[in-house]
Amino acid sequence: MQQKDVLPMKTEPADKRVAAAAPALNVTGAEAVIRSLIAEGVETIFGYPGGAIMPIYDALYDFQDQVHHILVRHEQGATHAAQGYARTSGKVGVVFATSGPGATNLVTGLADAHMDSTPMVCITGQVAAALLGTDAFQETDVIGITMPITKWNIQVTRPEDIPGAIAKAFYIARNGRPGPVLVDITKNAQVAKADFNYKKCDYIRSYQPVPEVQADAVEAAAALINSAKRPYILCGHGVLIANAEKELIAFAEKAQIPIASTLLGLSAVSVDHPLYVGYLGMHGNYGTNINTNECDVLIAVGMRFDDRITGDVNTYARQAKVIHIEIDAAEINKIIKADVAVHADAKAALQALIPQIQPQRHDEWLQSFRVADQLEKEKVTQAELYPQEGGLKMAEVIRRISEKTGGHAVLVTDVGQHQMVASRYYRFQDPNTNITSGGMGTMGFALPAAMGAKVGVPEKEVVAIIGDGCFQMTLQELGTIYQSEIGVKIVILNNNFLGMVRQWQQLFFDKRYSSTEMINPDFVQIAKGFYVPGRKVTDRAEIDAAVDEMLAHKGAYLLEVVVEREDNVFPMVPAGAPIANIRLE
Amino acid sequence: MQKEYTVTVYTEDRIGITNRITVIFTRRGINITSLTTAETEIPGVYKFIITVLSDREKLDKVVGQIEKLIEIHRAFVHEDDEVVYQELALYKISTTSLQNGNIEQLIRDNNARILTITADYFVIEKTGHQQELIDMLKKLEPYGLIEYSKSGRVAIVKWSRRFHDHLKALASKEADNFKAVSH
């Protein structure tokens, strides 16, 4: 069955949406939920109905021409889809789930969005207020469960409180360092009636989302940068969240400072930019890692010094003065002590910094990255990207996808070896085209996240790169892809192993492959069962044609590539080791 | 180095805020030794006074993560010399012990007072620092102590003027700009 490439979203008549958001007398709480979402500009909801949220689904029925609901196959899929949607569209992802198991199934996605600063509003149904605390059918303390993994959450038990709670939820989710918010609405509040009058929230007394840029901090940072011989920029997710890509590049160009990227910072700067020197962390590039311990001023922008970046903190960048530009005060001095902390939004901070930076050249310093690249190419990259014999390499598959999409596709990766390989070798050109689970490392993220990403930017090619283990965690979302006609391209890099765990077992556990080998099903046949066409490739000679076929296909497509079974990702910094101990083989 | 610190947290009046704060200590395996909370002089603003045994560096990070919570105004870590603090203890003693001669002197020497007397027991109250209250407990034990109950810490911060002026300025504003969600 032929699928459409683009989701058939009806364009909502703007006047109709305005009317829905206007004040209304005596409407049910459930209707107030939908009207509130429309007032916040919500067009897409990922969700799954159930007993305690049925009144809200009933209200949704009357607004189907204004809000598009995508029925997922598991609530976890709804959260990851909302994450993918939020990260490509820049809007807040919205999720509906019922009480009890519906709500607990959101936990992984909430935690993931919390770690990776993704704006999301989850609305859960709850048993009637009178039953709270009585162990009623499908009652669970979702507020208690999600407290440490949401930016904010609230339970609403009266219809008149619904618009206010939703307004606050959206304000908190999207402002400052973004994050997930959960609004739990008891069934009685959904059914009872109240007057509806929606006012957007733009102020909370105890919360200042965007700190003012401190002029003295900017001056101190500029002084350090102007006197630096080997300055070095680490570009984090905060640059993308703040839409500060242009400012970062202007800043780097003015003083000719090399830029390296964290996993979630990828795609903020084109990999072809002359100042871009590569990817950081455990499986990052060689030069970017070792030069962290060679720079004299480290300028961290919108990143949080994850342990996968720093390795052993006691030996991390000890020689450098550290400038930390960060919107979240709790991240400053949490892992690495900042000599100058600029507590601010990345864009505002960079805008203030640029005029104070003197033009400089650091040719020799930049050259040192190129020298390291040459070594990495000889030891690793060349053989990965252009192997002549032996089993298929993940890297050569990524290279071909990168070439054939011109680096312009949205790349959604799952978690493990394939994720690291894709992050290393896809040649990102455009901001917000790298969607992955960074902080949480959630296997099963990619398939649902890719659907959401595609719905967020239907005009773009969205390619999910998934391992054989990851795919089997959320493959039921093929049902959603079929039903909602979401044209994602799915690439399974199948090594019949939980590859990253196997790599660790090989290197650190004497090759004792404890529970990492997978006897896999026929993935193409599974896809066929969901009416998604596909193809399996085992031969190097077939890859080009197979990737072409996948990209030419209108609608969803699954390409399984059987890759070398016991392949390792290098370079590698062993967990907790100093980054100087980076291994090339 | 581990020692006792006082952490103060200024919050909005919100169900579950105690959970939100304490879970941050739990994550880092810090044991809370006492916790006191009540409304401040600013209506709607609550102050938590928490004592913990921990080290300064860890607590500075904990406080940063507490301040991240939406309904928290500010949170601080204090050394003992930055706060004026007091705790209160009640001691329930069997009335028959009144016949033992020294209890009057004990009450006088410790600035304690008697709150109530019944045929079975009487209740003594004493305020002071924790160690003083524990010392008093030891002294009372020979008299037939039935029950002992001690409060958490209440504390005034020596340098609090500027921050409380800031809070008072906030008091004229609504907690947020829509009709507050109340319970």
Q: Is A142 exposed, middle or buried (0-12, 13-18, 19+ CB in 10 A)?
A: buried
Options 3.40.50.300, 3.40.50.620, 3.30.70.260, 3.40.190.10; CATH of B3-78+154-171:
3.30.70.260
**How confident is the model at residue A256, as a pLDDT?**
98
Six token digits for residue A394: 């993940």
- For the question of residue A187 being annotated catalytic, the response is yes
Check if the beta carbon of residue A441 is closer than 8 Å to that of residue A115: no
Task: Select which of A2, A16, A137, A199 is catalytic.
Answer: A137
Superfamily of domain B84-150: ACT-like. Chain A, domain 2 (3.30.70.1150)
β-bridge mates for residue A324, sequence order: A300, A341
What's the pLDDT band for B171 if we cut at 50, 70, 90? Answer: confident
Between positions 36 and 65 of B, the ones with CB within 8 A of A are 60-61, 64-65
pLDDT band for position A352 (cuts 50, 70, 90): very high
pLDDT in tens, B123-162: 999 999 999 999 999 999 888 899 999 999 999 999 888 8
Residue B182 pLDDT more than 50? no
CA dihedral (A34, A40, A41, A42) in degrees, to 10, reads -50
Using CA atoms of A506, A511, A515, A518 in order, give the dihedral in degrees to the nearest 10: 70
For A160, nearest residue in chain B (alpha carbons): B181
Name the 3-class secondary structure at A88.
helix
Task: Report how far residue B31's alpha carbon sits from residue B54's, in angstroms, rounded to the nearest whole number.
Answer: 8
The three-state DSSP-derived secondary structure of A435-478 is EECCCCCCCCCHHHHHHHHHHHCCCCCEEEEEEHHHHHHHHHHH
How many beta-carbon contacts under 8 Å exist across A and B?
Answer: 71
Say what the pLDDT of residue A578 is.
Answer: 95
Selected for mutation to probe chain B from A181, A206, A324 (highest B CB count within 10 Å) is A206
Tokens of A97: 């789930």
Structure tokens at B42: 């600013």
**DSSP string across A123-190:** EEEE--GGGTTTT-TT---HHHHHGGGSSEEEEE-SGGGHHHHHHHHHHHHHSSS--EEEEEEEHHHH
Confirm if A515 and A522 have CB atoms less than 8 A apart: no
Q: What are A91-119's pLDDT values in tens digits? A: 999 999 999 999 999 999 999 999 999 99
Residue A374 has pLDDT above 50, yes or no: yes
The answer to whether the CB of A433 falls within 8 A of the CB of A411 is yes
Distance from CA of B59 to the nearest CA of A (A): 11
Cα of A167 to nearest chain B Cα, Å: 8
Residues of B in contact with A175 (CB under 8 A): none
| Dist. CA A283–CA A584, nearest whole Å | 10
ipTM of predicted complex: 0.90
* Beta-sheet pairing, A152-156 with B154-157: unpaired
pLDDT category at B167 given cuts 50, 70, 90 is confident
pLDDT above 70: percentage of residues in chain A: 98
- Give the model's confidence band at B104: pLDDT under 50 very low, under 70 low, under 90 confident, else very high: confident
Residues 6+ apart with CB under 8 A from A96: A45, A46, A47, A48, A49, A53, A56, A57, A69, A78, A122, A123, A124
CB B155 within 8 A of CB B172: no
Asked if residue A40 lies in contact with residue A169, where contact means CB atoms within 8 angstroms, the answer is no
Matching residue, tokens 């607990």: A104
Residue B180: which of A130, A205, A30 has the closest Cα?
A205
**Option in A168, A329, A333 nearest B176 (CB):** A168
Of B23, B177, B183, the CB nearest to A148: B23
pLDDT attached to residue B169: 86
Task: Look at A161 and B181 and tell me if their CB atoms are within 8 Å.
Answer: yes
Residue A6 confidence (pLDDT): 45
- Which entry of A282, A451, A500, A572 is annotated as an active-site residue? A500
Q: How far is A201 from chain B (nearest CA, A)?
A: 6
pLDDT tier at B100 (50, 70, 90 boundaries)? low
Residue B174 in contact with partner chain A when CB distance is under 8 A: yes
Looking at CA atoms only, how far is residue B52 from chain A in angstroms? 20
Whole-number pLDDT of residue B166: 86
pLDDT of residue B177: 63
Joined tokens for residue A451: 């659907």
Query: What would the pLDDT profile of B11-54 be if each residue is shown by its tens digit?
Result: 999 999 999 999 999 999 999 999 999 999 998 999 999 999 99
- Of B160 and A298, more confident: A298
Helix (H) or strand (E) segment spanning residue A497: none
DSSP A121: E
Q: Is the per-residue pLDDT at A300 higher than 80?
A: yes
Helices (H) and strands (E) counted in chain A, each on its own, are 25, 20
Q: What pTM was computed for the model?
A: 0.95
What chain A holds in terms of domains, given with CATH numbers, is 14-196 (3.40.50.970), 215-369 (3.40.50.1220), 394-566 (3.40.50.970)
Omega into A8 within 30° of 0, i.e. cis? no
Domain ranges of chain B: 3-78+154-171, 84-150
- Alpha carbons within 13 angstroms on the beta-carbon side of residue A288 total 26
Residues A404-459 pLDDT 10s? 999 999 999 999 999 999 999 999 999 999 999 999 999 999 999 999 999 999 99
Does residue B179 carry a pLDDT above 70?
no
Tens digit of pLDDT for each residue in A134-172?
Answer: 999 999 999 999 999 999 999 999 999 999 999 999 999
- Give the pLDDT band of residue A10 (cuts 50, 70, 90): low
- Which secondary structure element, helix H or strand E, spans residue A321, and what is its range? strand A321-326
